């Protein structure tokens, strides 16, 4: 019996079933940055007025500040329609952040531990949580009333140059999901 239990635990660990919940998978390929949360299911019916309840958090998890100028945040649809997405639906490209001085070379250095929160809706770029969360807005007019994150599942992507990272999720009876 004991040998069977040890073998079963080893199989489970080798299959990677002990980490993240089965409803989410992440790949980490953008140095210093990680998708840390997706708000995919706004409270109530999806309307143009509650689309800012949907968001993606990208955090600097590295040991140094990271240049986020040119960072692209997108959903799976936008990632798979790069060549035929003339309206830039479901996509935001970082060019500046509230509370961060843009360098003369166009750099936007996100400090260690800071988060870029990209909302689907409309708003004015801002900084909150003691200056560590920098809000940006897609102003999405695409999707259902501007709601771009699939309630039943989707994949959030961040891309910086040739580096990409994704976070896939399925509906988990909640409003937000973390890797």
Concatenated DSSP letters for 117-165?
EEESS----EEETTTTEEEEE----STBTTB-S-TTEEEEEEEETTEEE
pTM of the model: 0.82
* pLDDT of res. 38: 96
> What was the pLDDT predicted at 83?
80
Secondary structure tally for the chain: helices H, strands E: 2, 13
Please tell me the predicted confidence (pLDDT) of residue 9.
41
Position 142 scores a pLDDT of 82
The pLDDT assigned to 24 comes to 66
87-109 pLDDT tens trace:
778 899 999 999 999 999 999 99
Residues of the chain short of pLDDT 50, as ranges, are: 1-22
137-142 long-range CB contacts below 8 Å, 24 or more apart? 137/52, 137/92, 138/73, 138/90, 138/91, 138/92, 140/51, 140/89, 140/90, 141/87, 141/89, 142/87, 142/89, 142/90
Looking at residue 88, its pLDDT comes to: 78
């Amino acid at each position: 019996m004991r040998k069977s239990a040890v073998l079963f635990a080893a199989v489970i660990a080798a299959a990677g079933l002990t980490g993240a919940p089965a409803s989410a998978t992440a790949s980490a390929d953008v140095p210093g940055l990680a998708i840390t949360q997706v708000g995919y299911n706004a409270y109530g019916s999806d309307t143009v007025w509650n689309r800012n309840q949907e968001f993606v958090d990208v955090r600097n998890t590295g040991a140094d500040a990271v240049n986020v100028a040119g960072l692209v945040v997108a959903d799976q649809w936008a990632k798979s329609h790069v060549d035929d997405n003339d309206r830039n639906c479901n996509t935001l490209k970082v060019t500046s952040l509230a509370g961060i001085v843009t360098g003369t070379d166009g750099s936007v250095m996100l400090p260690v531990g800071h988060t870029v929160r990209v909302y689907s809706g409309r708003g004015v770029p801002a900084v909150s949580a003691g200056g560590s969360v920098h809000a940006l807005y897609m102003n999405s007019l695409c999707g259902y009333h501007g709601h771009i994150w699939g309630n039943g599942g989707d994949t959030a992507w961040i891309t910086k140059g040739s580096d990409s990272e994704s976070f896939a999720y399925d509906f988990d009876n909640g409003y937000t999901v973390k890797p």
